[in-house]
Structure formats: structure tokens, C-alpha cells
Amino acid sequence: MREAGGGESGDELARPRPAQAPPRLPPSRPAGSSCESERSRTRAHSPLTMSLLDLHYQQLGDARWAELLPLMRQAPVVRLVDCGVTGGRCKDVSAALRDNAALTELSLSSNELGDTGTHLVLQGLQPACKVQKLSLQNCNLTEAGCGPLSGVLRSLPALRELDLSYNQLQDAGLRLLCEGLMDPQCHIEKLQLEYSNLTADSCEALAALVRAKPELKDLGVSNNDIGEAGARMLCRGLADSTCPLESLRLESCGLTAANCADLSAIVAAKPSLSELQLGNNKLGDAGIAALCPGLLSPGSRLKTLWLWECDFTASACKDLCRVLGAKESLRELSVAGNAVGDEGARLLCESLRDPSCRLESLWIKSCSLTAACCQHVSAMLAQNRSLQELQMSSNNLGDAGMEELCQGLSQPGTTLRVLSVGDCEVTDQGCTSLAALLLANHSLIDLDLSNNCMSEVGVMKLAESAQQPSCPLEKLVLYDIYWREETEDQLRAVEEKKPGLQIIC
């Protein structure tokens, strides 16, 4: 019997990237495994060349560390992510970087550098350093480390991207950091500050920063409790700024419906904005209604809109449907974790049947859906020619709903490539419909059926169809489904028979 874990969480409601939502710190190892070890594939993929030092999730002994130091002195790209680099080795890193005139990217994410270790590393970045990307995500950096970092930022005119997420910077640290970023010699374009323990007290400094930096394109402040007042200050700064903002991430920030008019104005005023992430904020139906005028404005060119767990209902779907019908630029939409119900799904599907709608990815996970909505989803899938990804997991669709979906996907010309229906009460009966679908459909390459109620019989029906040469499926995800060792051996045999198929379990 086999068991593999994969619970649902905030980011899983929102998007497929990253695979799992972080708690307070990001996972230090890749989530999930398959009949071939996912971790061994990751390590095998870590390249070591004169131009690229890229290692992830490795504990480096002294001998191996000594081998890497010459590469650190000359590789333009140095990534040592979760490699057990601690303060004791930071002197080595600093010395190596001081000799590296070609360095353009440095990532030491998920290493316990601390403030002292980080300071040592930064000393290796000389004023002539050409580094463009610097990631110190999850390095145990605190307010005390922000002063030295601020000073270094003043001497790195080539730096364009800075990631300090998952460090306890706090408001005082952020203010110190902004002093360095405000320097005229600093031309930052992308700033990531997720999970930095910030509050509204940080937002005045952030607002001043965005006003002063006409180059800023990407700002991530998600998972900081800046609240309604902090978001208002930040929006005022963005409204005053001439920066060509492309991505704004404010998920889990304590926003309310009162912030949505300001956000709407920013969307309308910045045609450069292509990504807006507002998940896990209590916006409600009123907030979505206030946001949509900006989305509908002639200046809006938004491509990605994440509204997972924003506390709205089918009523808000009416407003979103007007956006879907009017804005061909919109490509990705998540309303996951909102109780839109079957009526909300029906409304969205009607909009997706309009040829002017070009949406490619729709997330309606955990939306209180039942089999009753599947006839509308099925009809949409049979007709729509742009949707490539549909995430419907954690809805009570059952076998009847699955049969409806399969009917739509069996029609000629369907374009869906990714279907997630995990935790949808699917049994062996539903697997029969899906197995037939895999032989009839020519577009589906990724199918997630995790945490459903099928037995080994249903699993093998799927595997038998998936191994056929005519089946295009590349990934079959079966987390949290139980079977005997013999069945696992059979699944491995299927993977060996068809190397292009990955069965993740």
C-alpha cells in the first residue's frame, strides 16, 4: 500500500507555481515524489560549468566545498540554494566573489547566513561588481542586517532584482533598506519582500520608494499585515509614480473592499500592469464590484488576476464576467476558495463560450461546486478554443460530474492541456469515463486525480490508457491514493514502457 502526501493550502488554491504554499518559511525540499525520485532528478539537473554554478538542496562537505570555490571566482551565475551554507563559510564566499568580475547573479536563498554572514557575503560585492540579481530569501536576515545591506545597495548600480522574502526585516529594517534603494545610483526594477513581518508603518517608506524609482516594474509585498491603511498609502505612492509597473502582489495583506477603488485606479492608469495578485484578502462582492471598473478601462492590459479566498459569491462573478467578455488580454484568473457555487461557475462558463474571451487558465478549486455545474463546464470545454488549464479540485463533482466533463473533453478540437480534479469524490466509475477520455482526447497532457476514492482497479484503468501510444498524457498525479506494492510495481512498469509519462504518487 502506498501513501504520498499533498494537502491543500493557500497557494494551491491560487496557482500552480509554486507547487505548495509556504507556511511562514518556504519548503526546503521539493514537494512530492514520483515512481522515479523527484529529488534525484533535481540534483542531477544541477549544472556545474564555467558560466553557471547552480546547486539546490545539497549538503556540501569540506572537499566538495573546496572544489566549488574556483567556480565561485569566475562563474557569472552563482546559485547555492539550501546548500547548508552557514556563517562559517561566508568568508570563503566573500573572498571568491571579490575575485569574480563576471558575476551577474547571486542566490544564497534558504541558507542560515544570519546578519553577520550576510554582511560578510556583501563585502565581496565590490563597487565594480556587475551583479544584476541578488536573492537572499530565507537567510535569517533581520533588522540588524539591513543597515549594511542598505550601504551595499548604494554601490551596486547594475542591480535590478532583489529578493529578501522570508526574512524578519520588520518595519525598521525596511526603512533602512529603502534608504539604500532610494540612492540615485540604485536602479532597482524588481523588489520581493514577501513574509518580511511588515505592517502599515512600512508603507510610507515603500510609497516614497515607488515614487522615486521610475524603473520599478515588479513589487511583491504579499503575506505582510500592512492592512487597509498601509495599502492605501502604498496605492497613493503608485498613483503618483511614473514607474512602468508590471506585477503587483498584495496577497494576504489584510486588504478590504475599501482598498479596491484605489487598486482599480492603478489598474486603469498603468497599461504596463499585467499581473495583479490579491488572494486571501476580504474584498467581498463589494470589493470586486469596485475593482472591475479599472479592469474594464481602456488602459487596462491585465493578463493575470488572482482573487483566491477573497470572500465573494456568485454575485461578484457577474462583474468578472463583464471583464472576461471585454478584455482579450486577460489570460489567467483564479476565483478559488470563494463560495461562488454552481451559479457562479455557470456564469463564468457562459463568458468562456464567447469567442472574444481568450482566458487560458481558470482556477475554481474549493468553490462549493457540485455535479450540477458540470454540464455548463462540459459545454464550455467542447466549444472554447483558448482555455488550456482548468483547476477544479476540492469540489463535490462525483462520478456524474466527471462523466459530464469527459463528454465535453471528448469532442473534436478541444484544447485543454491541464485538468485538476483532485478531491472531487471520484470512484472507479469515474475512472472508467476518464480512461476512455484519455484515448479520445488529443490535447490533455496533465491530469491530477489526487485524494479521490478510486481503488487499484480504477488506478490501473487510467494507467492502461495512459500507456497507449495514442495517448498524449505526460503527467498523471495520484497523491493520497492507497494501493498495494504490486500495483506500485505495475505503475513503475508503465513508466518504463512509456518514458514520456510521469506518474506522480
Whole-prediction pTM: 0.90
Greater pLDDT, 16 or 138 = 138
Does 45 have pLDDT greater than 50?
A: no
In this prediction, residue 26 has a pLDDT band, given cuts at 50, 70 and 90, of very low
pLDDT value at position 15?
A: 46
The answer to whether 187 and 212 have CB atoms below 8 angstroms apart is no
Q: Which fold has domain 255-368?
A: 3.80.10
pLDDT at position 5, please?
38
pLDDT at 41 over 90: no
Write down the pLDDT at residue 38: 36
Q: Given CA atoms 439, 440, 445, 447 in this order, what sign does their dihedral have?
A: negative
Predicted confidence at residue 141, as pLDDT, reads 97
Segment 417-441 shows an average pLDDT of 97
Residues 322-351 have a mean pLDDT of 97
Q: Which amino acid is at 318?
A: K
Give yes or no for residue 161 having a pLDDT over 50. Answer: yes
Question: 13-17, 245-249, 410-414, 462-466: lowest mean pLDDT where?
Answer: 13-17
| pLDDT score of 33 | 36
What was the pLDDT predicted at 126? 76
pLDDT tens track for 469-503:
999 999 999 999 999 999 999 999 999 999 999 99
Please name the CATH architecture into which domain 385-504 falls: Alpha-Beta Horseshoe (3.80)
Q: Which residue has the higher pLDDT, 46 or 136?
A: 136
Beta strands in 139-274 (DSSP E): 161-163, 190-192, 218-220, 247-249
pLDDT of 25 reads: 37
Averaged pLDDT of the chain: 91
Report the distance separating Cα 16 and Cα 308, nearest Å.
13
Domain locations along the chain = 255-368, 385-504
**Of the given ranges (36-50, 190-204, 337-351, 403-417), which has the lowest mean pLDDT?**
36-50
Q: To the nearest whole percent, how much of the chain has pLDDT over 90?
A: 87
Distances in Å between the alpha carbon of 188 and those of 132, 212, 216, 233, 440? 9, 11, 6, 20, 50
**Confidence band for 146, pLDDT divided at 50, 70 and 90:** very high
Predicted confidence at residue 32, as pLDDT, reads 37
Q: What is the pLDDT of residue 43?
A: 37
The three grid cell numbers given for residue 207, joined into one nine-digit string: 510609497
**CA separation for the pair 190, 163 (Å, rounded):** 8
Packing angle, helices 374-383 and 398-409, rounded to 10: 10
* CA nearest neighbour of 322 among 296, 341, 345, 343: 296
| Residue that wins the pLDDT comparison between 23 and 173 | 173
